[in-house]
Amino acid sequence: MEKHRNMPKICPSCGNRLSVRALHCGECDTRVEGDYALPSIMRLSDDDRRFVLDFVLCSGSLKEMARAMSLSYPTVRNRLDDIISQLKSFESNETNR
C-alpha cells in the first residue's frame, strides 16, 4: 500500500499560504486545474487536525478525549476552543477576500 505524504500548506520560498492548483486521478489520468483555496480544516496544523479527527472518533465527547489523552477536561476544552477560533478566523478571512 502506498503511503501518502502530507500536503504542504506553506510556500518553502516565501512563507505564504499555498493553494491547490491541480487535481489528478491516478486511475484514468483525468486532471482538473484551477486555483482552489485549501479547506479550512487543512489549514490547521497536523496536530490540530489529528485532534479534530480524534474528537470526531470519540463521538464529540471531551470527557472521552481527556481520558484518552491523559489530560484534564479543561485542558482539552481549551485546545478545542483554540481550534474553533482558528477555524473561525480562516473562514472570516476567506469571506473578506
All structural domains of the chain, each given as residue ranges with its CATH number in brackets, are 39-95 (1.10.10)
pLDDT in tens, the chain (97 residues): 556 677 788 888 998 888 888 889 999 999 999 988 888 898 899 899 999 999 999 999 999 999 999 999 999 999 999 999 999 998 887 666 6
Give the E-state strand segments of the chain in sequence order: 20-24, 31-36
